[in-house]
Amino acid sequence: MKIFIAYTLVVIGIPYLAGLLFGQVLTFPLAVIVGLFRRPTDEATQAQAFIQATEWSLRGSSTKMPVADRILHVCMDVFNGFGAVLTAGFLFHLFGLPLGVAVLLILAAWEIFFTIAYGQAFRTLFSTLAGIVIGWFVVLRLFSF
């Protein structure tokens, strides 16, 4: 019964959601640092930069966006994937179950689904999948699966 509950939680996306929250929490200090080193501009320029950053994040378009912002977006995606695997590993650790490759595939399937369904940039997909793979090896070491 424990294995059914654990896999059900992974399939409905609880680790994926927790990974998104984890990624935002880890990215926030980096975003503050990037924001502190920006040149002061007027509100119209800031609004335009925000729109360009959102467009680059969602669509992957080639807008003129600072390199620091691009790195920040990639870090956020990697942390999101890392957090999802960390949450899934912790969940399976609490249930006393071994972490199977199926968990890795389910998390990857979630990310592929959201990327295609919402028309996001493939950069987001590859960054999050990189975080999932990095998290996979960390979790295998951390919880000794």
User: CB under 8 Å to 112, separation ≥6 — which residues?
Assistant: 125
pLDDT in tens, 73-114: 899 999 999 999 999 999 999 999 999 999 999 999 999 998
Stronger pLDDT, 57 or 33, i.e. the higher one: 33
Crossing angle of helices 2-11/67-95, nearest 10°?
160
DSSP state letter for 144: T
Structure tokens at 1: 């019964």
Does the predicted model carry a pTM greater than 0.85?
no
